[in-house]
Structure 1
Amino acid sequence: MSAAESSTDTTKEDVPTENAPYEPTIVDVLVVKAMLNKALSPPQEIIDRIVDLAEYWPHTTSEWTSQQGEDPPPTTLAWGRGQENVFVLRAPPLGLPTWRRSPSIPGGQPERKTPKLQPAGEEFPSEVFQRLTKMPMPMLVHPCRRIVFTIRSRDQGWGGEPDTQGTYNSSWTWFEAGLERWCKTSTSETDTSTGQQSEQPSLMVDDLSTVLPPVRWDETRRQHVFDHPLLPREDLKIQCNEVATNEIQEHRVVWSYNDDIDPDRDTVAAARLEESGRGTATGTGKFVRDLKLGDVVTVWSKARFAGWQNHVSSVKVKVYYAV
């Protein structure tokens, strides 16, 4: 059974528990900024900096969970089953809090709809997404500050190379981050009768182009395909499973815009990331810093080589951004 079957998923604002730190909504952030402006009247740049340094950021939450009582949970199987690379879920567009309430969004579950084989092309100008934010003041072009992945999963519970069981060494089941964007040159954003391109994105899931994994043309099959490499991409590998572990384990992985681990310069820190099951190049902060307004973060589950299975119980993605 694939991770795309027998599932429930939600995109929601987290309800804070009694002991959890309070996480603000967009309205909360705007109110605080207005209060600072009224009390102190500093330049807007100073207010923005204060709020940013305080990490007073709104966020979105997307979550997929397998059906209760399902044993084993949905599985990504290895070679020969056509399930070596399985799409799990997507986050809402970065900085567009009204996306779920937009009438252009079809019914169903946009977080789980399978990505289309639509290659990325020319992007819409940032000004277009600025208007779509419907914010009283312009947002940053690159507003993302943090991504928190919470993954509950395990591998097949047996196998692996000698002395690797219970470690992340030579683990061939893992999760990778992906990226989608609305592109003005995609066929879905072009009027086929006139060839005229749309002036703004439709915000419909079916019109998204896939940036990561790249979409390439397969000459043999005469069609576009997702370009999934054999080995993990060290800059996109969120987390791998412990080798030969029968129990579902939870991993919480945080990517921040101010992460600064260069794997070529700081080999010790990169080795620590590898020992914890992360990609050695995921500590640079580049993926988070490069995200633009309207970008859509995705998660894929992976498995490689005969016998390896990725049993996925749940995946949650929280995306924090500056306002």
Structure 2
Amino acid sequence: MAQSIPQNVIDGLRTMLLGSSNDNETSSSSSSGDLTPVDVVITRIMLTKGRKLPPGVVDVIFDFAEYWAHSSNEVDYIAEHSSPLRVNGQSPSENKFLLRSFPVGLTGIQGKKALAEVLAYDLNEAKPAPLKTEHDASYFAKLADYPTPKLLHPVRKVVFTIRSKDQGWGGEPDNRHTYNGAWTWFEAGLEKFDAEQTCDPSCTYDVRFKSASSVASPLPVCALRPLYP
């Protein structure tokens, strides 16, 4: 059985059973409070091998408990800039890009360790350009250093948590404290990476080479192509 289980899963099981580990990354990820893909696989092994539960029953349990690995991206303008973000209508900036999530199926972006690089990925709007060649699924699968779901549609849930308000006046009295009758709204967009676009040392679009230790990312922001809206 050990030959079919990735080493990081074996290390995680050893940590659970023995209470100690030499793998700092495994220890820190388990104590962060967020489920990792390895955590999910370990729990699945414990239920199917230890408790002898059928895999189908384990899938149902996971779905009811929403026991899924996930990624999160967030921005707090008040905490980071000491003031809320204001977007004024009828101005060149009325359509404002707010935040980008990690690619579906990935819990992070390989090669982005510096804070400047992480923020650049999250907050930089993709330049409008036609998509020439898409990456195939195997390209993204190679970027994950953890077990990935075998489901046909592995995305189980998408959650948007937004705190905002309209300008605070105008509209019918019944629409007060709502977005009914307002000209403010949020849209979720779709982007894809262009396989023909690479990032070189002359590219400063997403702070790729901000430090000597930075390396070109396999998924650079400059390769993103907006499809919608």
Shorter-normalised TM range: 0.5 to 0.7
- Contact between 1:123 and 1:182, CA under 8 Å: does it hold in 2? yes
Task: Name the SS for the 2:92 alignment partner.
Answer: coil
The counterpart of 1:87, out of the listed 63, 85, 97, is 97
Hey, what does 2:221 align to over in structure 1?
205
Superposed, which structure 2 residues align to 1:189-228 within 5 Å?
189=198, 202-213=218-229
1:217-248 alpha-carbon deviations (Å, 9 max, x no partner): xxxxxxxxxxxxxxxxxxxxxxxxxxxxxxxx
- Contact between 1:126 and 1:141, CA under 8 Å: does it hold in 2? no
The counterpart of 1:103, out of the listed 104, 111, 116, is 111
* Structure 1: 4+ residue segments shifted above 6 A: none
Which amino acid is the alignment partner of residue 90 of structure 1? R
Hey, what does 1:321 align to over in structure 2?
none
Task: Name the SS for the 2:40 alignment partner.
Answer: helix
Q: Does 1:118 align with 2:129?
A: yes
1:77-119 alpha-carbon deviations (Å, 9 max, x no partner): 111x2012100011112222252xx226774311111222123
- Unaligned 5+ segments in structure 1 are 1-11, 17-22, 191-200, 214-323
Structure 1 residues 212 and 141: alpha-carbon distance in aligned structure 2, compared to 1, 3 A threshold: farther
Q: Distance in 1 between matches of 2:73 and 2:148?
A: 26
- Contact between 2:41 and 2:147, CA under 8 Å: does it hold in 1? no
Q: Distance in 2 between matches of 1:32 and 1:14?
A: 15
Superposed, which structure 2 residues align to 1:40-79 within 5 Å?
40=51, 47-68=58-79, 70-71=82-83, 73-79=84-90
Structure 1 residues 180 and 13: alpha-carbon distance in aligned structure 2, compared to 1, 3 A threshold: farther
Hey, what does 2:16 align to over in structure 1?
none
Structure 1 residues 65 and 95: alpha-carbon distance in aligned structure 2, compared to 1, 3 A threshold: same
Structure 1 residues 136 and 58: alpha-carbon distance in aligned structure 2, compared to 1, 3 A threshold: closer
- Contact between 2:37 and 2:148, CA under 8 Å: does it hold in 1? no
- Contact between 1:161 and 1:170, CA under 8 Å: does it hold in 2? yes
Task: Name the SS for the 2:42 alignment partner.
Answer: helix
- Contact between 1:29 and 1:56, CA under 8 Å: does it hold in 2? yes
- Contact between 1:105 and 1:204, CA under 8 Å: does it hold in 2? no
Q: Does 1:36 align with 2:47?
A: yes
Structure 1 residues 179 and 137: alpha-carbon distance in aligned structure 2, compared to 1, 3 A threshold: closer
What is the TM-score normalised by the length of structure 1? 0.48
| Structure (1 or 2) with the larger CA radius of gyration | 2
Which amino acid is the alignment partner of residue 111 of structure 1? D
Hey, what does 2:171 align to over in structure 1?
160
- Unaligned 5+ segments in structure 2 are 1-28, 200-216
Structure 1 residues 132 and 49: alpha-carbon distance in aligned structure 2, compared to 1, 3 A threshold: farther
**Offset of residue 55 of structure 1:** 1.9
Q: Distance in 2 between matches of 1:50 and 1:91?
A: 27
Superposed, which structure 2 residues align to 1:231-242 within 5 Å?
none
Hey, what does 1:275 align to over in structure 2?
none
The counterpart of 1:132, out of the listed 143, 156, 165, is 143
Which amino acid is the alignment partner of residue 134 of structure 2? E
Hey, what does 1:173 align to over in structure 2?
184
Task: Name the SS for the 2:141 alignment partner.
Answer: helix
Q: Distance in 1 between matches of 2:127 and 2:41?
A: 36
**Offset of residue 127 of structure 1:** 2.4
1:290-309 alpha-carbon deviations (Å, 9 max, x no partner): xxxxxxxxxxxxxxxxxxxx
Does 1 or 2 have the higher relative contact order (CA < 8 Å, sep 6+)?
Answer: 1
Q: Which has the higher helix share?
A: 2
What is the TM-score normalised by the length of structure 2? 0.65
